Structure 1
Amino acid sequence: MEALIVMLVLAALAIPLLLVVALVMIAGLRRRIGVLERALFDGAATAATSREVPRHAMPVDEAVAPVPPMPASPPPAAWVATPPPIAPPPLPAGPTPVSAGPGLLERGIAAAKRWFTEGNVPVKIGMLVLLAGVAALLKYVSDQGLLDVPIELRLAGITVAALALLGFGWQQRDHRRLFALALQGGAIGVLLLTIFAAFKRYDMLDPALAFIASIALVAGLCVLAVVQNSRTLAVLGILAGFMAPLWLSTGSNNHVGLFSYYAVLNAGVFAIAWFRPWRALNLLGFVFTFGIGMAWGVLQYRAEDLATTQPFLALFFAFYLLIPLLYARRQPAAKRDLVDGSLVFGTPLVAFSLQAAMLHDQPMLLAGIAVGLAALYAVLARALVARASYRVLAQSHAVLAVGFATLAIPLALSARATGAVFALEGAGLVWLGLRQRRWLPQASGALLQVAAAFAFVVGADYWQGDARLLLNATAMGALLLAIAGFASAWSCRRAGRGSVGLVYYLWGLLWWLGGLVHECVRFLPDRHEPDALLVLAAVTAWIVAEVHRRQPAQVLALTTLCMLAAGFPLLLWQQHAHTQPFGGMGGLAWLAMLLLGSRALHALRQGAGMAASIAQFLWWLLWPTVLSLTLQQLARHAGLGQGWMVLALALPWLLLAALTIRRWRWISLPLGTAFDAARPAFQCLLFVVLGLAWLWAHVLPGDASPLPWLPLVNPAELMQWAALLLAARWLYSEQAPLPLRRGRIPLLAIAGFIALTSLTLHAVHHWGQVAWDGALWRSTLAQTSLTVVWSVLGVIAWVWGSRRGQRVLWTVGAVLMAVVLAKLILIDRQHLGNLLGIASFIAYGLLCTVVGYFAPAPPRPASLVEEGE
């Protein structure tokens, strides 16, 4: 018996070895045949071209006579004649061998040859030699220790080289402008870095000296930029100037020195703006000045710094108040209505915000400053409005004057009351401006609503006094802001200003949702928050859909879609808050979602288009998710095994998939036939979900407790086979995509093979008491079981394919048997020391014998069968 086993093993090992040897021999024969064919073709071509006289010029007897050999000595010159042109030899009758292209090595040699023979060869070779020489030199001086130069000499050498580059760049400014500008900027950058290294890294420069040198370099760079009309140089200089205090900082927190330096820099920006309309430079100065100032204010400002900080804030405000005027003045007369809006509106907004932060405890003084700014902008608007070329800038100043005058009101009144008044007033101004077709009231109305929101946020300190949910001033204020936004959106839509109306609508929706969400968070316990927000989403979806039914608008349909989609994250929140969706007040919340969501979808039947289809798509995905999580939690509470929880999770999706196949009319409601176009995509997504669940179930042990585990009838495998049957029913229907229908047989065959393999491993786990981990794969019982099952499947496919004349099925069986053979050689041979391993080899041998008896050869093609071959 042992000898038989050894012989079987040797035979199994010899088969692949013999195959490898045969493949090597075949490859060698093919190579030799190819060489002989090419040699034969080359010989034929040489023989054809060696004939110097055409056959048609020879006498008949010479044409058949052999060609005499050439004489040993050349003939006299008079005998030599120019031969007629020789026609190319005819191609062989058979297939012409095509020579293979050059290999990787040949291509590399050719590329190297081209590099050395084409182009500027002396420069290439010279650079190679130079690099080699420099490398050798550096190595030598390094070995000799000659690179240990004092740091002072190194920095001095770098400085001299940078100055030389700067001078050379200045000399080349008229001949090679771009090259010269890049050289100058790079040289000054190197000088700045050298100063930084000398100061910060090596402590060789006094801070004051390093600061002065940096200012001088920045000023020089700005002068070079203005003289050469290079905006790039100016931007580089100003950027370096603003960064210099940061990299040269000593940590002394001397804000007076910092802002004094920035005042000098902004004076430079102002001076450049007098000569050049470089908007990028102006914006760079604005961003750095107020950005660094704001950062310092947040981190280090104290109340006692007001006296030393206020003058700088006023000075910076004055700079960037006048720079837009200079920018407009430098424009051509036809373009002076071009306004630098970023500075015109950004300067007062940022400056007044900083001022408000500094005077937060003095609201009356801040109100007086707001009135002063309103007067200043009114004077500028009055001075510029008479000039037609500055009319847009004058209108911008007028808007700012009205805004600051209005802003002075809430600084002394209750923030929430002011916000409500401003919101309603703003909506009225928007409506009036649209009626009169005047943009100033419209802009004023928008600014008033923004001011109302600002006042509402400022009044946050008073929110803590609210005592009841919704019935409080905070909720009413947010509601008024939302109503004002919606009213303005309605006015804009009536006037044909759809894009502006969209902004107002989103603004109102923000305050509607934000205010109500804030109320829920403030007054409700944590466990009820997701339930209340789910009701809010349902109510919002319903109200918006009803408005859409009367006044169709795409943004309303999209809002309904978003509110229904919000059910997914709220569902996860509920799961976290009370372990399942219907816990706590979740049952009532989902009832509200069911009723109001259905009505909302019904209201979207007309004019919603794709948004309505997507909304119903998500709607039908939401409910199986809710039911799956609920059933899974109930199974866990009942103490059921893992297999039951898998079935509970998949059951709603299986039911929905079955309904899409058998009762699509039910699923199409409430949209009806408008949802039919989404059927293929919806079914594809459903079966993708089921497919993922099907694969996931295969990697789980699938405990069926309290029932014993039985193959096929345990809950996890019932789910898997139900999903497989539904997928097969769908693939054989007209609703499945054409590529899937064409490949349904191999898809279902692979799925069935995976399912049977999983069933085998689960049987080994539950009946053989083998742990469901890596030990299962190492188990002899598992490997033997797989060998037997796969062999039986291969034999069935092999014999069935042969008997029914299906060559593809026969090939599948043959491939599967080959896989099992490889498994025997690579894996199962490790288990030949026990009975199970031996049984796997014997079983495979017997099954192969059966196949050899019933179906030794593949089925013949149909054409051959018909011809009787």
Structure 2
Amino acid sequence: MPKVHSEIRIMWLMFLMIVAIAAWFLELHLLSYLCALALVMSVMHYVDLIQNPTQDIATQFDAEHVRNSKVPLYLASLLAVLGAVMSWHWVLGAGITIWIFFFLRWLRRLEQQLNRLQHLLERQQQSSQQGLTPAATLSKSKTQSEAALRTEAECNSQAELKSGAVAEPESKFASESMPESASEFKSSLESAPFALQPQQGEVTITAADSVELSISTGSTQTNTPDLNMLDQVKSWLFQGNPVLKAAICILLIGIVLLLRFATEHWQIDLAMQLALLALLSTSVCGLGCRLFRKNPSFALGLQGLGMAGLFLSLFFAYYNQVIASFPLAAALYMCIMAATIGLSLKQNSIELALMAMLVAYFAPFSLPIRDMSSVELLTYYLLINIAIAILSSVRPWKVLVHIALLTSVVIGSGYALQHADFAQLPMLLLILAHTAIFIWLGFRYSQLIAKRDLQQFQLKPVLDIALIFGAPTVAYALVYLLYFESILWQASLSFAFAVVFAGLYALIKRKAHIDVIAQSYLSLSLIFLSIIPAILLPEQWSVVGWALQGVLVFAYALWRDLAIGRYLAMALLIIAGLSGAYYLLESDDLPRSVLWCLSLSYIVVVVLANSCERFRAQYDNLMAVFHAMLMFFAFAILLLLFADQFDLDEHPSLVLLLLSIGLFILNEIMQLLKATWTWFIPKCLAMLPILLYALWLLVTQMDQGQLIWVSNVDAWYFAASGILLFGLSLRTQMNYATVQEPISASALLSLSLASMVLWPAMPYMSLMILPLLFCAWGFFRRQDHKLVMIWQSNASLMLLLIWMICSQLFEQGAFDVYWLPVINPFDLVSLAALLAMIWLLSLQLKTRLDRGIIAILAVLSLLWLSSYILLRALHVYLETPYNQIELWGNAVVQLSLTLLWVSLAFITMTLAKRLKLRALWILGASLLVIVTFKLVLLDLSHIGTLLRVFSFLGAGLVMLIIAYIAPIPDLPSSDREDTVPK
């Protein structure tokens, strides 16, 4: 696995442990248990990521390996969870102990397997040097004694324990060279058979190593503009000296806390305290400058810490009136900022600039009382942005510029919106001043890049849109909100922005090396001109203007293949949606034609984008997600319109039927246009509001566990809607293997909704009738690959598990039609669901789902449904508790459950012996383990003496019979050959 992924996983495990321990001391025991469970599952998953490829490699190379079952680990986890829930501490301790034992045994076997593979690779290396064939090498390695292999593994383990680290061949194999599949490993082995172990005297330096080396030696080449912002943030976090960065952050927090404590509590002269801190910060900064040649990265950290201390000291001095003169404070601030700029440029260090600027941005919020007005904060940020403009005019540091933009927008505008303590004109001037700076930064950055590498320069969305397009767009959005009630101001400012960018285009269009920047300014000018007509429309009808303009711009962008046009159309459609939501919430007389136009505009955009192959080729991830959200909101709006148009008291399901018909027709049109994934995602999101409305209808019409339909016609409207949605889910141009999970989930949910109409008096049972018939059809037509794919999904397994749990707990009509045990509708449907679950689990054997989980699910499903069938019979004939806590203390119930579970184990293990199915026998043995725990944990303390004797005698007698007639089947010959003795 990659090094960065390993670090992230270690961080995740440490985070879980820290949260669990902290929650335990805070007496949040439930959170501790959840974190412990997540830690256990994460550790097992991470080890599994190493084990599975290792077994695949061993199989391909015909090497000996041991198959490890994780069933004991799952059982131990369940035992520990049971102990934690029931507050049985000794059971909890036993479960944890058993889990640790089996987990360590798993690791030991995995270690031995890795040693064998390493030994095999060494043998192959020697044979390659001696001219032997790989087959001869394999046969030779197989003939080596097992004792020698075991001795080598023990020696390696002792050496690892002494050195405190994993042995180099294993760790390299496990953490760096582990392929995704055995075929990849085989191909890499064939191309470089000696690459696993470097020879003596050989030094291998990878690209990541070279980057880290350059950072540690203070190289100035780490801030390459070719990396995007996310890559540079990752580089800063995971490379270089992370301990130094963590130390600086902790020290900064300590300085802030020290200053606040000194301000509020210390009796020493505050001026003396701040002077000493400023002197100390200056000394730290000077020491960093002195150490720069010896240790650049450490020196830069000291310089950043010193500058941060100076900024904070100045702020606290001005806040506490130690420096009462504002001009003096401003002059000192300018001196510190000038020193920061000078050091950053002289040493070509973006790290120093980042540390200093971030502290400067957040310094006002470190004060004990933050009474700064919005205008003062934005003015202060303006000074910082001017300093960043000076830096970025010399060095193309895009991360610094992006952070400045995000901080000014998020913190500055958020602070202003929260306090709302400003006049319009000063705020307008500040917004325009910030905008001018970022326009210059966008131009200058692109200009520097163009001069540096003219041949490779191009308009990259992550790079230039954030700088060239982002700042003006965000600025105008803030101005729009500032003058939200004044259409004249909005249109005038839009025209002013258009004139400014048209002027910039005219000034720089003749310079060939920055022609792309000129074209961007021309696009911005046209954008601000194009939105003026929509602004000038009357209030509510401006929604229609935004929507229609978005559709027209999007159609033109598709025709001309203009990425900027598509992004502009997205922005216009977003503005239309936000304006529509605002007027819908603020006014009661919003014309319904406005909402009709908005929803149809959204649908038209999606249809246009999928109308031909040339348009579909322009799709990217952002556009796919955006169109999916358009379809969701389009059908949500249509749902509101239909609900307002029709009387929901008479035919609430008619709205559901109309929406289903509309989406079905739209899907058929897309089928004719041969739209694939570009339509599949929007279709799934369009179904979501329909399904949510259907669930809302079911909840509102449920009364005392029964569905009360308004009329039979309305019920059949509901059923027809479910059938249409079911067909809609199956009708797609996509390969079922690619979109297996969403197809399965939507199809089964839709079919379940249609099935609710069949038996309203027993809705949970009725819910499962049509899905079970569909499952039977899929079972008898197993040659149909698409049907099998629907039932082989995790979604179908999860939905069936949810039904099995909820139906037994919440079905209130199970006793209304009860004839005999098993011979009644609800028990028959439950048994059919159990058979379906067994078939689904058998299909999951062909997937990557762990076999241990499959076995656990099979056992629990059998116990759950069979136990409830027995509980219903006991409740009918003996009036025992049902779905009540008292049943755990009822002697008859506990005796019956014990005998039932032992009988199921007897049948399962006897059948496994006859059919020689070792896996089925282990399944039955798991039932016996559960019975044993039940006898010890429940029967000894909750039932009477005589029935306790019967429970133990009956269970022991059946176990004795099982031990005689159904011992564990022998391993198949192939498995015996693959199994290595301990």
Q: TM-score, normalised by structure 1?
A: 0.64
Q: State how far apart, in whole Å, the 2-side matches of 1:446 and 1:474 are.
A: 23
Of residues 424, 429, 433 in structure 2, which corresponds to 1:311?
429
* 2:713 is aligned with 1:590: no
- Check whether the contact 2:755–2:768 (CA below 8 A) recurs between aligned residues: yes
- Counterpart mapping for 1:446-461 below 5 A: 447=568, 450-451=571-572, 454=575, 458=579
- Check whether the contact 1:423–1:449 (CA below 8 A) recurs between aligned residues: no
> Unpaired runs of 5+ in structure 1?
1-92, 113-147, 636-644, 863-869
- Check whether the contact 1:169–1:184 (CA below 8 A) recurs between aligned residues: yes
- Check whether the contact 2:891–2:942 (CA below 8 A) recurs between aligned residues: yes
Q: Could you give the per-residue CA deviations for residues 242-292 of structure 1, whole angstroms, max 9, x where no partner exists?
A: 223333485544455444433333332232233322222333333333444
- Check whether the contact 1:534–1:570 (CA below 8 A) recurs between aligned residues: no
Judged with a 3 Å threshold, the aligned counterparts in structure 2 of structure 1 residues 199 and 711 are, in CA distance, closer, same or farther, namely farther
- Counterpart mapping for 1:664-703 below 5 A: 664=781, 675-676=786-787, 678=789, 681=792, 693=803
- Counterpart mapping for 1:64-75 below 5 A: none
Give the counterpart letter for 1:771 in structure 2: P
Q: Which has the larger radius of gyration?
A: 1
Give the counterpart letter for 1:265 in structure 2: I
Of residues 466, 475, 479 in structure 1, which corresponds to 2:596?
475
- Check whether the contact 2:497–2:528 (CA below 8 A) recurs between aligned residues: yes
The alignment of Structure 1 onto Structure 2 pairs a total of residues equal to 707
- Check whether the contact 2:285–2:303 (CA below 8 A) recurs between aligned residues: yes
Give the counterpart letter for 1:246 in structure 2: F
SS in 2 for 1:634: coil
Q: State how far apart, in whole Å, the 1-side matches of 2:473 and 2:896 are.
A: 78
> Unpaired runs of 5+ in structure 2?
1-144, 166-265, 972-982
- Check whether the contact 1:680–1:735 (CA below 8 A) recurs between aligned residues: no
Cα deviation for residue 318 of structure 1 reads 2.5
- Counterpart mapping for 1:176-191 below 5 A: 176-191=295-310
Instruction: Give the match for residue 641 of structure 2.
Output: 519
Judged with a 3 Å threshold, the aligned counterparts in structure 2 of structure 1 residues 616 and 535 are, in CA distance, closer, same or farther, namely farther
* 2:517 is aligned with 1:398: no
- Check whether the contact 1:429–1:445 (CA below 8 A) recurs between aligned residues: yes
* 2:404 is aligned with 1:285: yes
Cα deviation for residue 398 of structure 1 reads 1.1
Moved more, 473-482 or 612-621: 612-621
Q: State how far apart, in whole Å, the 1-side matches of 2:916 and 2:855 are.
A: 16
- Check whether the contact 1:794–1:817 (CA below 8 A) recurs between aligned residues: yes
Cα deviation for residue 335 of structure 1 reads 3.7
- Check whether the contact 1:207–1:248 (CA below 8 A) recurs between aligned residues: no
Cα deviation for residue 385 of structure 1 reads 0.9
Q: State how far apart, in whole Å, the 2-side matches of 1:496 and 1:203 are.
A: 64
- Check whether the contact 2:913–2:967 (CA below 8 A) recurs between aligned residues: yes
* 2:337 is aligned with 1:226: no
Q: State how far apart, in whole Å, the 2-side matches of 1:632 and 1:422 are.
A: 48
SS in 1 for 2:792: helix
Q: State how far apart, in whole Å, the 2-side matches of 1:448 and 1:691 are.
A: 44
Q: Could you give the per-residue CA deviations for residues 679-707 of structure 1, whole angstroms, max 9, x where no partner exists?
A: 6627x976775566556677789986457
Cα deviation for residue 186 of structure 1 reads 1.5
* 2:780 is aligned with 1:658: no
Cα deviation for residue 504 of structure 1 reads 8.8
- Counterpart mapping for 1:409-558 below 5 A: 409-414=533-538, 443=564, 447=568, 450-451=571-572, 454=575, 458=579, 472-476=593-597, 478-480=599-601, 482-483=603-604, 486-487=607-608, 490=611, 493=614, 497-499=618-620, 509=631, 512-513=634-635, 515-520=637-642, 532=655, 535-558=658-681
Moved more, 808-817 or 402-411: 808-817
- Counterpart mapping for 1:681-760 below 5 A: 681=792, 693=803, 705=815, 710-713=820-823, 715-724=825-834
Instruction: Give the match for residue 285 of structure 2.
Output: 166
Judged with a 3 Å threshold, the aligned counterparts in structure 2 of structure 1 residues 421 and 561 are, in CA distance, closer, same or farther, namely closer
Q: Could you give the per-residue CA deviations for residues 717-761 of structure 1, whole angstroms, max 9, x where no partner exists?
A: 444444456677x59999996999x99999999977777766665
Q: Could you give the per-residue CA deviations for residues 597-620 of structure 1, whole angstroms, max 9, x where no partner exists?
A: 57757864x676657877764565
Cα deviation for residue 839 of structure 1 reads 5.8
Q: State how far apart, in whole Å, the 1-side matches of 2:579 and 2:637 are.
A: 15
Judged with a 3 Å threshold, the aligned counterparts in structure 2 of structure 1 residues 384 and 829 are, in CA distance, closer, same or farther, namely closer
Instruction: Give the match for residue 700 of structure 2.
Output: 577
- Check whether the contact 2:392–2:445 (CA below 8 A) recurs between aligned residues: yes
Give the counterpart letter for 1:271 in structure 2: I
* 2:364 is aligned with 1:245: yes
Structure number with the bigger relative contact order (C-alpha 8 A, sep ≥ 6) is 2
- Counterpart mapping for 1:793-812 below 5 A: none
Cα deviation for residue 222 of structure 1 reads 2.2
SS in 1 for 2:287: helix
Of residues 460, 471, 475 in structure 2, which corresponds to 1:351?
475
Cα deviation for residue 388 of structure 1 reads 0.3
Moved more, 294-303 or 752-761: 752-761
Q: State how far apart, in whole Å, the 2-side matches of 1:422 and 1:297 are.
A: 27
SS in 1 for 2:777: helix
Q: State how far apart, in whole Å, the 1-side matches of 2:466 and 2:364 are.
A: 25
- Check whether the contact 1:426–1:444 (CA below 8 A) recurs between aligned residues: no
Instruction: Give the match for residue 321 of structure 1.
Output: 439
Moved more, 221-230 or 516-525: 516-525
Q: State how far apart, in whole Å, the 2-side matches of 1:621 and 1:838 are.
A: 47
Judged with a 3 Å threshold, the aligned counterparts in structure 2 of structure 1 residues 652 and 797 are, in CA distance, closer, same or farther, namely closer
Instruction: Give the match for residue 98 of structure 2.
Output: none
SS in 1 for 2:400: helix
- Check whether the contact 1:780–1:836 (CA below 8 A) recurs between aligned residues: yes
Give the counterpart letter for 1:233 in structure 2: L
Q: Could you give the per-residue CA deviations for residues 454-493 of structure 1, whole angstroms, max 9, x where no partner exists?
A: 46754778768897986x2442355356536644664783
Instruction: Give the match for residue 881 of structure 2.
Output: 771
Instruction: Give the match for residue 488 of structure 2.
Output: 364
**Seq. identity, %:** 21
Instruction: Give the match for residue 90 of structure 2.
Output: none
- Check whether the contact 1:218–1:241 (CA below 8 A) recurs between aligned residues: no
* 2:748 is aligned with 1:626: no
Give the counterpart letter for 1:268 in structure 2: A
Q: State how far apart, in whole Å, the 1-side matches of 2:817 and 2:610 are.
A: 63
Give the counterpart letter for 1:245 in structure 2: P
- Check whether the contact 2:908–2:921 (CA below 8 A) recurs between aligned residues: yes
Give the counterpart letter for 1:681 in structure 2: Q
- Check whether the contact 2:278–2:310 (CA below 8 A) recurs between aligned residues: yes
Cα deviation for residue 539 of structure 1 reads 0.9
Cα deviation for residue 211 of structure 1 reads 6.7
- Compute the RMSD of aligned alpha carbons: 5.8
